[in-house]
Structure 1
Amino acid sequence: MGATVALTLVTTAPVLASRSEPGSDDCQNSAALTADEARVCANFHNMVEDARRLDADAVLKHFWADGFSAALAGELLRDFPGWADGYRALLATTESLDRVDFPQVVVRTIAEDTILLLNTYDQRVVLQSGDVLEPTGYGTQVWVRRQSEWRIVHIAGE
């Protein structure tokens, strides 16, 4: 998995680094959120904070491994353990993230136990190799409630 594809994986779910700007990953439609949508927005925020601490295990706890899929760079992945290993490897090669912004984060209920989270992102990543990546784009997450817990089952991004 190339660094760009891996970063797309990261940015459609969590993002690496220290906060650029307070509230930069808060949901734009927060005034109109249902209780479940507010929970997903808070979970997204917590997942981003876990990623900023470079804590892969904490980030991965925000996903349901069974039924997981990812649509990235024209490829459909259904291998959560493989994706998780790629995410851990990416974190291990990251020196710092100098910028991370979520200009837009919107959540919408699409079924009783399913919520869609859409985001745009802009970041500057410094890898341990010294390479600098500046990905921007959008991501989509599908959050599903099981046993009273909201976790991600699908991510997609560009």
Structure 2
Amino acid sequence: MVLNPYAPTTDLPGLCVSDEKPPRSKWLLSWLLWHLALIAASVAGAEYDIESIMFSGTVFTLSGIVLAIIAFRRGNRIAMLFGLSSLAFAILIVVLINVMAWNPRDADRPVCILIWGYALASVALAWGSIRQEGLLAKAILAGKE
């Protein structure tokens, strides 16, 4: 009897179709949502009082670094760049305020507009990260077969 390694299996057809759900990183997905909530709170705080960005910027920068670490360990590049973008955005705002020598009254509108733009881009980045996480989960599941 000659065995053909490329022949489909006929013994157990149930082994060919997996009923498993793809594994997703609950930490990554929950931290993405947490980070988006922090960004929304930062927008609200900046619109209410521009000086609140000193606190909210620090908090969402630290959250972004944690998100980048979680995403790096998971292999999700979009989420990693999303996390690092919060650090880059905070540095951009600090440099912009210092170079332009703005006081809080002068910085109010330009900084709020930049924060709104970043928040809108963050929604797109979070959506892309969640989508990539689903694709990664499917690839991991396919690798188990």
User: What's the TM-score, normalizing by structure 2?
Assistant: 0.30
Q: Which has the higher helix share?
A: 2
- Structure showing greater Rg: 2
Judging by fraction of residues, say which structure has more strand: 1
